[in-house]
């Protein structure tokens, strides 16, 4: 069998017999050198030169899941998640990872996080504002927040004024065929739409049901350019 000459993070962790999450955390804190074989791979020599004990010592505990992190953030805000009512969800945690407030330590579906880093985020004085900005809204909720009809929000999507942060599959009933993809938008990105000067928001918010959206003309003009 040919010897492996290049290792990604998971393979390097396996070679060193350290947890993959610990390896990724060591990379985050600068304990490891940058990959030398490619932008994401280390050479065999580089991996063999790494100090496995130092990697383990840098992260002696266990990572926590995105769901647990969401629960801890909710508790820090004084609004604990309870069965049937989650005030902070894993969606928010993933947005925090995107903001680089948290470091993703998993290479698979589902987040793994350092508990101390989550605790540090929970101590932020602007935590409530950050959670509010990253709270998910479906299309109908986004339209309601803007005070416009759902059809007007759909035109904003056609105009590419906003993009979903995530698309999830929602199941209706027990049948696999009863599913639908639902786009989720951050509250911050929805609120940012009100800064668009092309829109007469007072007019848009008072258009009666059944009347053609004035955004249709903007979309037509945009496609004609």
In angstroms, the CA 34 to CA 151 distance is 49
The per-residue pLDDT for 221 is 78
How confident is the model over 19-30, as pLDDT tens digits?
A: 999 999 999 999
Q: What is the pLDDT of residue 2?
A: 65
| 178-224 pLDDT tens trace | 678 899 999 999 999 999 999 999 999 999 988 999 999 888 877 76
pLDDT at res. 42: 97
Integer Cα distance of 67 and 203 in angstroms: 42
Query: Where on the phi/psi map is residue 110: left (φ > 0), alpha (ψ -120 to 50), or beta?
Result: left
pLDDT of residue 155: 95
Q: For the chain, which residues score pLDDT lower than 70?
A: 1-2, 172-178, 224-225
Q: Show me where the domains of the chain are located.
A: 6-58, 64-133, 136-224
Q: What is the pTM of this model?
A: 0.87
Give the pLDDT of residue 174. 60
Query: Do the strands 179-186 and 166-171 form a parallel or antiparallel pair, or are they unpaired?
Result: antiparallel
3 state SS of 183: strand
User: How far apart are alpha carbons 31 and 125 in whole angstroms?
Assistant: 29
């Amino acid at each position: 069998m040919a010897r492996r000459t290049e290792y990604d993070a998971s393979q390097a962790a396996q070679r060193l017999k350290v947890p993959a999450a610990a390896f990724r955390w060591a990379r985050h804190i600068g304990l490891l050198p940058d990959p030398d074989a490619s932008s994401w791979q280390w050479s065999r020599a580089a991996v063999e030169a790494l100090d496995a004990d130092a990697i383990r010592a840098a992260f002696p505990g266990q990572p926590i899941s995105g769901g647990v992190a969401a629960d801890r953030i909710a508790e820090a805000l004084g609004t604990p998640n309870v069965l049937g009512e989650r005030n902070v969800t894993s969606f928010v945690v993933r947005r925090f990872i995107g903001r680089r407030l948290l470091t993703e330590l998993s290479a698979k579906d589902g987040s793994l996080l350092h508990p101390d880093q989550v605790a540090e985020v929970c101590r932020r004085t602007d935590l409530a504002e950050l959670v509010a900005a990253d709270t998910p809204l479906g299309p109908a909720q986004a339209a309601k927040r803007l005070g416009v009809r759902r059809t007007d929000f759909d035109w904003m999507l056609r105009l590419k004024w906003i993009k979903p942060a995530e698309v999830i599959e929602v199941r209706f009933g027990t049948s696999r065929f009863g599913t639908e993809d639902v786009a989720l938008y951050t509250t911050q990105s929805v609120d940012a739409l009100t800064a668009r000067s092309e829109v007469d928001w007072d007019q848009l918010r008072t258009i009666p049901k059944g009347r053609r959206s004035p955004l249709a003309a903007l979309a037509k003009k945009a496609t004609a350019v």
